């Protein structure tokens, strides 16, 4: 954050507000946080890693599947293994969709991590430039910038 500290303006009194606020706005915009700070966009939430099992679709019955009895239970021979939809490997198309979704997750995770880092930088800027006497009255200074 050295590029920000070089041009930081201390906020010690009301007469410092215009210059400090101009610098703060410039920094918030350069960190891509201004839209969220203004309340025009919600803060990003952490993305959820995709679960492989959610990509399995119901497949039509396999003609080579083991025979079933009158109640629909599989008739097993001692060496037969029944593969259900829940434990079967993903098909090629399902696997492709799963990998694509992981790629999207990674991009979203990187954006989320960057936003957290930038929020920390902006919070540090506030803490380093607002006088102690004003910090007690400013809701952004003693807390991180929250969602």
Residue 72 lies in a domain: no
CB-based contact 66:80 (threshold 8 Å): yes
Residue 64 lies in a domain: no
Tokens of 142: 């003693």
Q: Can you give the three-state secondary structure of 25-60, one letter per residue?
A: HHHHHHCCCHHHHCCCCCCCCCCCCCCHHHHCCCCC
Residue 85 lies in a domain: no
pLDDT tens-digit series, residues 12-60: 988 999 999 999 999 999 999 999 999 888 999 999 999 998 988 876 6
Q: Count other C-beta atoms under 10 Å from residue 14's C-beta.
A: 8
Q: How wide is the angle at C-alpha 4 spanned by C-alphas 11 and 24, nearest 5°?
A: 45
Residue 45 lies in a domain: yes
Q: What is the pLDDT of residue 144?
A: 52
Residue span of the structural domain in which 108 resides? 2-56+91-135
Task: Name the pTM for this structure.
Answer: 0.69
Residue 65 lies in a domain: no
Residue 111 lies in a domain: yes
d(CA 129, CA 139): 14
Residue 143 lies in a domain: no
Q: How many domains does the chain have?
A: 1
* DSSP-derived secondary structure letter, 4: H
Residue 109 lies in a domain: yes
């Amino acid at each position: 954050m050295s590029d920000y500290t070089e041009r930081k303006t201390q906020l010690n009194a009301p007469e410092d507000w215009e210059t400090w606020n101009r610098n703060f706005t410039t920094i918030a915009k350069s960190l891509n946080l201004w839209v969220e700070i203004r309340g025009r966009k919600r803060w990003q939430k952490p993305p959820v890693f995709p679960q492989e099992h959610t990509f399995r679709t119901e497949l039509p019955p396999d003609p080579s599947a083991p025979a079933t009895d009158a109640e629909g239970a599989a008739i097993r021979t001692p060496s037969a293994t029944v593969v259900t939809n829940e434990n079967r490997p993903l098909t090629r198309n399902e696997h492709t969709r799963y990998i694509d979704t992981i790629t999207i997750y990674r991009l979203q995770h990187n954006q989320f991590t960057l936003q957290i880092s930038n929020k920390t930088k902006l919070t540090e800027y506030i803490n380093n430039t607002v006088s102690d006497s004003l910090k007690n009255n400013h809701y952004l200074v003693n807390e991180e910038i929250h969602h």
